[in-house]
Structure 1
Amino acid sequence: WLRSEYEQAGMVFEPAGVRVSRLEEAIQVLKGLFADRPFTFAGDHYTITNLNGFPKPAQRPHPPILVGAGSKRMLALAAREADIVGILPKALPDGTISEEITERLPAMLAQKVEWVRQAAGERFDELELNMVITPVFSEHRQQRAEQLAHERGWSGIAVEDVLDMPSIFIGTPDQIVEDLLRRRERFGFSYFVVSDASMEAFVPVVSRLAGNEG
């Protein structure tokens, strides 16, 4: 979905419909090549003839597949095919990610979880929900939330709404732990990702969650 990555790789950034259908086929191909027998597939994007993938994965039938998505169509695909569904702000046709405030508010996240639930059907309870989060460590939650809103260009939003954004965690390690547990219970997420730039700062949070603050 990210146009800049296509450009860096020298690839054509095709329309969303093409990219989504290609991904759907790619997942089928991966699952087929992970299987125990030679695999044959004929699609619009891939043609595989009697190919036996090697080496076979230790995890059977295949390693957990994570698909991240923000639109209803992509979330439905992830719900049907993935083991882990990453819920994101929606991608835009120009190859960027939406900066709309509504994409980051609890109501929209709850709606996206519901789209996943509907598309997954009986397998929903087998899925793991994933989210990329932004931790912001500060002793002054209110002031830092206001500053973050200004930095992101979120004009007209209340500080309380910034603090309630499911992917934004502002406060001390203890406060962030409390928010993580609360949002896990509220939305069903159990797999949170932080950027490499936040890893060291996030260690106290992980230690507290693991019951080891030493």
Structure 2
Amino acid sequence: MRDFRFSFNIFGFDSRDALLDRCRHGESAGYDTVFAADHLGAPAPFPLLVAVAGATGLRVGTLVLNAPFWNAALLAREIATTDILTDGKLEVGLGAGHMKWEFDAARIEWKPFGGRVEQLSEMVDGLRTSFTMDFDELPEGRTVPRPLQRRGFGGSGPPLIIGGTGDRVLRIAAAHADIVGVAGTFQIPGRPPGTFRLATADEVAERIRFVRNHAGARAKDIEWHLLVQLVVETDDRRAAANEIADRLGGTMSVADVLGTPYVLVGTVEEMTEQLRSHRERFGFSYVTVHEPYLEVFAPVIRRLREQS
């Protein structure tokens, strides 16, 4: 069974000092990694990650890059340069994109889901090729940046994270990813793209079985990633779960809220036990919380470290 790793993502910042203070605080609280997303309205991921890695001991990563936003050769340059400048601390998360308004605002074609999944698959292959490609026509004195790490992309680049819930994305994850996240969100039928509900525990278990079956011999080497959507510290789990179920608009029962790995609710001891249970049942050992929960989740990290 893998040891736990803990991470948080950055939603935004007002200044360099504010960003670095936040990340130093996260490091002192026991977090291992800081992630940046790839959304319009959020900071550009790669400069953020270079700044954080230069000022802390944290690993850094993307959670996740929207594959349709990028060209493989240019993204390979960004990844390789960032891996070098962070001394090999980079983890690369890739996704198919799910917010149509971002594509519209950037004037990037919004393809049906199958088309975006194909773009994701092509990106994985394209990055692997770009990391090993020789350029015969470089001007004298120029060199191609290569990633320092040789853990992902067939041994040519940084560790690769792929997450999702659908069969097509999870097949790609099973075939290629070093770290697999079962995203835990399902598009609500008949609602605008990006309108999700959370997965139940049984749905998560089924999705993990799906990945393991398709990964074959690779399954034993996969690190399983959990993105927690909500952290609520309370002495009354059931009352809090009732409130959460109401806020979720009836898409989950109280029992579902208490069982899903994407909601942590209870005392520090109860949340600690939830994560231990989720690691035992699902394999989740790499746990990310959203930045607003950095503080409330920190005592859970300390308790798990004390018990390990």
2: CA distance, partners of 1:14 / 1:73: 15
In structure 2, give the amino acid aligned to 1:120. A
- Which residue does the alignment assign to 1:56? 146
Task: Check if 1:98 corresponds to 2:196.
Answer: yes
Alignment counterpart, residue 83 of structure 1, candidates 154, 168, 178:
178
- Give me the TM-score of the superposition, normalised by structure 1: 0.83
Moved over 4 A (4+): 49-53, 91-94
The separation in 1 between residues aligned to 2:144 and 2:273, in whole angstroms, is 44
Tell me which residue corresponds to 2:248. 152
Displacement of 1:92: 6.4
Q: Deviations over 1:35-63 (max 9, x none)?
A: 3x428xxxxxxxxx999993211111211
Structure 2: tracts of 5 or more residues without a match: 1-97
Q: What's the CA shift for 1:9?
A: 2.5
Q: Which amino acid aligns with 2:193?
A: G
Is 1:31 aligned to residue 150 of structure 2? no
Structure 2 CA distance for partners of 1:155 and 1:108, relative to 1, 3 Å: closer
Moved more, 83-92 or 160-169: 83-92
| Further displaced range: 3-12 or 181-190 | 3-12
CA-CA distance at 1:151 after TM superposition: 0.6
Q: Which residue of 2 aligns with 1:17?
A: 114
Deviation string for 1:1-51 (max 9, x for gaps)?
22133234332211112111111010111122223x428xxxxxxxxx999
Verify: 1:120 aligned to 2:209, yes or no.
no
Letter in 2 for 1:98: F
Unaligned runs of 5+ in 1: 40-48
Equivalences for residues 103-182 of structure 1 within 5 A: 104-133=199-228, 134-154=230-250, 157=253, 159-182=254-277
With a CA cutoff of 8 Å and minimum separation of 6, indicate the structure with the bigger relative contact order: 2
Distance 1:53 1:153 in 2: 55
Specify whether residues 156 and 114 from structure 1 end up closer, same or farther in structure 2 by C-alpha distance, changes over 3 A only. closer
* CA–CA distance in structure 1, aligned partners of residues 273 and 181 of structure 2: 22
For the residue of structure 2 that corresponds to 1:90, the secondary structure is: strand
- Name the TM-score, length of structure 2 as normaliser: 0.59
1:193 aligns with 2:288: yes
The alpha carbon displacement at 1:162 in A equals 1.7
